[in-house]
Each structure stands twice: as C-alpha cells, then as structure tokens.
C-alpha cells in the first residue's frame, strides 16, 4: 500500500448515528468526526478518497417531520428527501474532515456533490415495492396514505405498518465526470449519498426524479467501478464479515475469494437487509475490476489497509 491509491469508501449509518439514544445533529456530527479521523489517516498516507454515505435514519426523520406537519405544509417527495440529506450529511462530513485535517497540519479541499443516479423505469422492483422507509404507522394512517397519496404500505411483523418503495438497481452516475474532475485535482469528494437521488432518463434525454431508494453500497460500487478505483471499502457495524453471525459457532473471515463468497451467499449466511447487499456490491466491484475490496468498521478503515484488520474480498 505504499503507492498512492484511489479509494472509494462507503460509510454506513453507524458512521453517523452510533445508537438510537443519540440522534441529535450534534451527536451525528460527533459520530461523523470519529469516522473522519480514520479517513484522514488514509489521506496522510498519500491516498485519494471518495466517500459515499448512508442516509436511512435521516430520511426517516424528514418524513416524520412532514407527517406531523401534513395539515399545514406540503409533503416532501422522496427524491427531495435524499437531496436534502446529501446536503446536510455532506456538510457535516466536510466540516469534520476539515477539522481533523487541521489537527494534523493538512489543508486539502473537500466538496460534496449532490448526485443523481440513473435507474431504469422498467426495473422489476417498481412492480413489487418492498423497501421499508419512514416510521411505523397505525392501520388507519396506512389506509389514509394508501388512498390519498398512493403509497404502497406493508404490515411489519405485528409492529405496525410502514411505507414501502422500490429499490431499483443503479445504472449510471449522472455527475460522474464532475466527481472525476474533482478527484483529479486533489479534492476529497463526498458523492452518491444515500445511494444517490433516483432519476429516470426519458427518450428525449430529460431527467425525472422518482419515489424510490437506491442501495447505497450498490451505488458506491458502481461509482468505484466507473472511477476505476484501486480499492473499494465498505464501512459497517462489524470489523469482519462472519459466518453464523451471532451464534456460538460464529467464524470471522479474513480473506475470501469470489467463488467462496458466492457459496456463502447461496448457503444463506448473509442477512438480506444487512450484510448481503454489501457482499453483492463488493463481489460486483472485484469481479469487474480485479481489484481488492474491504469490509470493516469505521475504526478499522486504516487498519484494514495496513494492519490486517477487516475482511478482504479478492478475485
């Protein structure tokens, strides 16, 4: 790792909200600062960095505010919610990174790119929305939104009802060349936050925002591939990928190849709403580029490159 590498890092919700009891803006900033500290170490080592981030809880907060104020304010479309969180979280990460850089005597530029990500209008997920968003509702509220707002709603394991939306596959990063230009000029870039703002491109080339959610890790993997990143890192809640997670026979994985990854996927070792999309995104990157992927937690981002931490995925 002595050579300068382009590293795309996808940071998850735990990098911004450490626990459900500390969700204020100031608490989120402190969580972002801790993650920024570890990313700064990579820049100190000479690497270029592009950062993608999750936004699930933050979008939920926006939707909940809109729900409480629905009698006096207009509803906020989901694509606008994603755009809002890209700006707010990008601001927190920009400040955190700049402050952490200042502590070590570095002054690189950091910029957030509000990023649109193209999806296809005929993506199968639009026919059967299944991605839960927002807070739980009573049946009465769920029926109200189904009838008046056209929401798809689903009962969730006896805990109440939630809105569900499509989660289409990302096919292109609209602002890719903007990100590439910034990276080539030495800027630390924050892009494709929350998986990107989902848009569809019509036959005349015009874009239109959609009420959907793009998986953050899949969008980050696409960006990493298009930028020809040397390394793709997914930061999550655990240091290493595990088999039989949470069971007495839990086994941590240090290095796994694509064939081994596929075997574990088929055997059902990875939870669909948790580790599975991360593994799938990482397999896609490694298969396409032949480069190495890493999955670890925020505090081991640097250690995964230099100290044998985390789980490496290799071709």
pLDDT in tens, 247-288: 888 899 999 999 999 999 999 888 887 899 999 999 999 999
Sign of dihedral through CA atoms 273, 274, 275, 277? positive
CA distance 180 to 189: 9
DSSP 166: B
Residue 165: inside a domain, yes or no?
A: no
Residue 152: inside a domain, yes or no?
A: no
pLDDT band at 2 (very low <50, low <70, confident <90, very high): low
Let me know if 287 is a catalytic residue. Answer: no
Residue 146: inside a domain, yes or no?
A: no
What is the per-residue pLDDT for 294?
96
CA distance 37 to 93: 11
Residue 129: inside a domain, yes or no?
A: no
Sign of dihedral through CA atoms 305, 306, 312, 315? positive
Give per-residue burial for 178-201: e unless 16+ CB within 10 Å, then b: bbbebbeeebbbbbbbbbbbbbbb
Annotated active-site residue in 225, 278, 309, 312: 278
What is the per-residue pLDDT for 14?
61
Let me know if 216 is a catalytic residue. Answer: yes
pLDDT band at 12 (very low <50, low <70, confident <90, very high): confident
Count of structural domains, the chain: 1
CA distance 121 to 200: 6
Residue 137: inside a domain, yes or no?
A: no
What is the per-residue pLDDT for 20?
77
Residue 22: inside a domain, yes or no?
A: yes
Over residues 121-143, the mean pLDDT reads 92
| Nearest alpha-carbon partner for 293 in 96, 5, 69, 28 | 5
Annotated active-site residue in 14, 160, 209, 287: 14
CA distance 99 to 198: 31
Residue 15 has pLDDT above 80, yes or no: no
Annotated active-site residue in 13, 160, 257, 303: 13
Residue 130: inside a domain, yes or no?
A: no
Let me know if 14 is a catalytic residue. Answer: yes
CATH number of domain containing 39: 3.40.1160.10
What is the per-residue pLDDT for 92?
96
Annotated active-site residue in 54, 196, 216, 297: 216
Let me know if 13 is a catalytic residue. Answer: yes
- The residues pairing with 117 across neighbouring beta strands, listed in sequence order, are 173, 198
What is the per-residue pLDDT for 159?
85
Residue 181 has pLDDT above 90, yes or no: yes
Residue 210: inside a domain, yes or no?
A: yes
Query: Which pTM value belongs to this model?
Result: 0.93
Annotated active-site residue in 131, 225, 309, 312: 131
35: domain range?
6-117+170-314
Residue 313 has pLDDT above 80, yes or no: yes
Phi/psi of residue 31, each to 5°? -65, -40
């Amino acid at each position: 790792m002595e050579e300068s590498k382009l590293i795309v890092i996808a940071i998850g919700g735990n990098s911004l909200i450490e626990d459900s009891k500390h969700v204020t803006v100031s608490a989120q900033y402190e969580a972002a600062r801790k993650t920024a500290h570890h990313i700064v170490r990579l820049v100190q080592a000479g690497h270029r960095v592009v950062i993608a981030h999750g936004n699930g809880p933050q979008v939920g907060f926006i939707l909940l505010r809109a729900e409480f104020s629905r009698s006096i304010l207009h509803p906020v479309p989901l694509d606008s919610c994603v755009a809002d969180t890209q700006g707010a979280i990008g601001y927190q990460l920009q400040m955190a990174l700049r402050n952490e850089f200042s502590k070590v005597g570095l002054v690189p530029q950091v910029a957030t790119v509000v990023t649109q990500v193209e999806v296809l209008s005929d993506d199968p997920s639009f026919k059967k929305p299944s991605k839960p968003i927002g807070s739980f509702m009573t049946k009465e509220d769920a029926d109200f939104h189904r009838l008046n707002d056209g929401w798809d709603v689903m009962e969730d394991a006896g805990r109440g009802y939630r809105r569900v939306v499509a989660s289409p596959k990302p096919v292109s990063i609209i602002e890719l060349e903007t990100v590439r230009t910034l990276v080539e000029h030495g800027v630390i870039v924050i892009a494709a936050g929350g998986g990107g703002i989902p848009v569809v491109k019509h036959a005349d080339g015009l874009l239109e925002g959609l009420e959907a959610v793009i998986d953050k890790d899949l969008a980050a993997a696409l960006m990493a591939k298009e930028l020809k990143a040397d390394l793709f890192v997914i930061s999550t809640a655990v240091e290493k990928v595990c088999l039989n997670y949470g069971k007495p026979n839990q086994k941590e994985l240090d290095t796994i190849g694509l064939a081994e990854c596929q075997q574990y996927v088929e055997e059902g070792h990875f939870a669909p709403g948790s580790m599975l999309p991360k593994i799938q995104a990482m397999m896609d990157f490694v298969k396409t580029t032949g480069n190495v992927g890493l999955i670890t937690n925020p505090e081991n981002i640097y250690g995964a490159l230099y100290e044998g931490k985390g789980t490496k995925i290799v071709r």
